[in-house]
């Protein structure tokens, strides 16, 4: 694709994209029927859920979420615990926390109406340039550009560039968005990347933009954009204290501004160099809750990979030997029976540990 396209070429490209999109778009629950005004809250929700998450996964959550929080106001009124419970398993929990904060701000400062104005919307907590562009264009028809991973791949191929700069990508998107229907055009670009211009084996014979795609003309599609080299992640070795007392576990709520903030978990401590797992588990109880415990058997080792770190959790059964819990490093604590754990929002790895710990507790009681 030669940049910038002249008006005639742009008009032709928009027409092709729209025609293709209207004939091929997937029927997804957050998309409104042709001619219908989309609900801004639902569009916003879908864009937040779809960040770094596959459509198939989001489909499992989206409907359930709307049953629980059908309107923006119902979400604004809900406590964070309920919001995180509804988000449980989707990962990247800062999305849920920020969405909740932003929705509360809309309820308080904007009369419950999602701001139409791009800059106002962009200034809300956690709303980046992409989300602001997507919601402004799809829900309100604003000519705001968007660039996500799919659009980046499409554009990199149009210009046959292995490492296009962000500014160049956004410039290209800004050229295309201001048509008669910016929301549809933006969705057409994303849909093209998701279903036709795929990372492997792009289906160029079905592409409405093959006429201007230099990578297609040169046969370099699969090399564009250049693959990002994955850097090895640092490793954290963590002791998890399963503190038991009369058939209950002690759970703690993590501080909101930390990783997995607001979620419930078992007390834990990253092991120091040379520190035994049992000693680290006892330290987790002491430093996190001012509790004395005696570490026993290790019941599980669970691996989990986060965006920035690889974690190994060693879950250790601990007997409570003295003191009352004081949440020194946590926001709150609670004693729960194994079935009650289900009513709290736990990260995936902690949920697995809870299941294994509950099974071990039942075995020990039966013995």
Instruction: Let me know if 109 is exposed, middle or buried by CB neighbors in 10 A (0-12, 13-18, 19+).
Output: exposed
Cis amide prior to 4 (ω within 30 degrees) = yes
DSSP code, position 220: -
Under the binding rule (CB under 6 A), the answer on residue 154 touching ligand SF4 is: yes
**Which own/partner pairs from 290-293 qualify as long-range (CB within 8 Å, at least 24 positions apart)?**
290/323, 290/324, 290/325, 290/326, 290/328, 291/243, 291/250, 291/320, 291/322, 291/323, 291/324, 291/325, 291/326, 292/320, 292/321, 292/322, 292/323, 293/241, 293/243, 293/318, 293/319, 293/320, 293/321
Cβ contact 202:277 at 8 Å: no
Pick the binder of ligand SF4 from 127, 151, 215, 318 (CB under 6 A): 215
What is the smallest separation between the CB atom of 165 and ligand SF4, expressed in angstroms?
19
196 touches ligand SF4 by CB under 6 A: yes
Q: Which of 9, 10, 78, 204 binds ligand SF4 (CB under 6 A)?
A: 204
Closest CB 222 distance from ligand SF4, rounded Å: 9
133 vs 225, beta carbon nearer ligand SF4: 225
Asked if 267 and 288 touch (Cβ cutoff 8 Å), the reply is yes
The residue range among 88-96, 177-185, 206-214, 225-233 that interacts with ligand SF4, by the rule CB under 6 A, is: 206-214
Residues numbered 251-310 forming contacts with ligand SF4, rule: CB under 6 A: none
Nearer to ligand SF4, 224 or 351 (CB): 224
Residues 361 and 299: their CA atoms lie apart, in Å, by 10
Question: Residue 21 Cβ, how far from ligand SF4 at the closest point, in Å?
Answer: 13
Among 213, 278, 280, 289, binds ligand SF4 (CB under 6 A): 213
Stretch that binds ligand SF4, among 95-103, 194-202, 295-303, 328-336 (CB under 6 A): 194-202
Pick from 126, 143, 353, 154: which is nearest to 261 by CA? 126
Among 48, 103, 151, 197, binds ligand SF4 (CB under 6 A): 197
The one catalytic residue among 15, 19, 47, 244: 47
Phi, psi of 191, deg, nearest 5: -65, -40
Nearer to ligand SF4, 64 or 206 (CB): 206
**223 catalytically annotated:** no
Element of type H or E holding 140:
helix 129-140
Q: Which is nearer to ligand SF4, 54 or 200 (CB)?
A: 200
Helix axes 40-50, 129-140, angle to 10 degrees: 150
Reduce the DSSP state of residue 347 to 3 states and report it.
coil
**Nearer residue to ligand SF4 within complex by CB, 139 or 147:** 147
**Greatest CA separation for the chain:** 80
Listed as own residue / partner, the contacts of 162-167 with beta carbons closer than 8 Å and 24 or more positions apart are 162/223, 162/224, 162/225, 162/226, 163/225, 163/226, 164/225
Residue 151 is a binding residue for ligand SF4 (CB under 6 A): no
CB of 203 to ligand SF4, least distance (A): 6
SS3 236: strand
State yes or no: residue 13 binds ligand SF4 (CB under 6 A).
no
- Give the nearest distance from C-beta 201 to ligand SF4 in angstroms: 10
142 within 8 A of 116, measured Cβ to Cβ = yes
Size of the site for ligand SF4 (CB under 6 A): 14
Does 221 bind ligand SF4 (CB under 6 A)? Our answer is: yes
Nearest distance from C-beta of residue 155 to ligand SF4, angstroms = 9
Residue 159 interacting with ligand SF4 (CB under 6 A): no
Is residue 216 within the footprint of ligand SF4 (CB under 6 A)? yes
- Residue 98 Cβ vs ligand SF4, minimum distance, rounded to whole Å: 32
Catalytic positions are 47
* Site of interaction with ligand SF4 (CB under 6 A): 154, 157-158, 196-197, 202, 204, 207, 209-210, 213, 215-216, 221
């Amino acid at each position: 694709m030669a940049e910038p396209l002249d008006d005639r070429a742009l008009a032709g490209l928009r027409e092709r994209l729209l025609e293709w999109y209207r004939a091929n778009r997937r029927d997804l629950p957050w998309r409104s029927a042709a001619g219908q005004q989309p609900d801004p809250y639902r569009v916003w929700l879908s864009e937040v859920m779809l960040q770094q998450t596959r459509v198939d996964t989001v489909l499992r959550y989206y409907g359930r979420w709307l049953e629980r929080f059908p309107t923006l106001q119902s979400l604004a009124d809900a406590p964070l615990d309920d919001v995180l419970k509804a988000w449980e398993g989707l990962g990247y929990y800062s999305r849920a926390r920020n969405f909740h904060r932003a929705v509360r701000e809309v309820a308080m400062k904007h009369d419950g109406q999602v701001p139409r104005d791009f800059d106002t919307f962009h200034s809300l907590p956690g709303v980046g340039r992409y989300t602001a562009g997507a919601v402004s264009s799809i829900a309100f028809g604003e000519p705001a550009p968007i660039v996500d991973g799919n659009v980046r791949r499409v554009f990199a191929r149009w210009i046959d560039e292995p490492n296009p700069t962000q500014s160049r990508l956004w410039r290209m998107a800004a050229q295309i968005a201001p048509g008669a229907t910016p929301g549809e055009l933006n969705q057409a670009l994303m849909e093209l990347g998701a279903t036709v211009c795929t990372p492997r084996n792009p289906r160029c014979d079905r592409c409405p933009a093959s006429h201007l795609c230099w990578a297609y003309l040169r046969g370099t599609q699969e090399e564009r954009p250049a693959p990002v080299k994955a850097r090895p992640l640092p490793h954290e070795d963590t002791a998890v204290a399963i503190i038991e007392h009369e058939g209950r576990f002690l759970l703690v709520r993590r501080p909101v501004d930390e990783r997995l903030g607001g979620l419930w978990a078992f007390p834990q401590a990253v092991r120091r160099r040379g520190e035994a797992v049992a000693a680290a588990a006892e330290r987790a109880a002491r430093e996190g809750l001012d509790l004395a415990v005696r570490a026993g058997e290790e019941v599980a080792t669970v691996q989990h990979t986060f965006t920035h770190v690889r974690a190994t959790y060693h879950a250790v059964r601990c007997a409570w030997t003295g003191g009352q819990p004081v949440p020194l490093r946590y926001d709150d604590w609670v004693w729960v029976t194994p079935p009650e754990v289900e009513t709290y929002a736990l990260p995936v790895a902690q949920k697995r540990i809870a299941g294994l710990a509950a099974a071990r507790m039942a075995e020990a009681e039966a013995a």
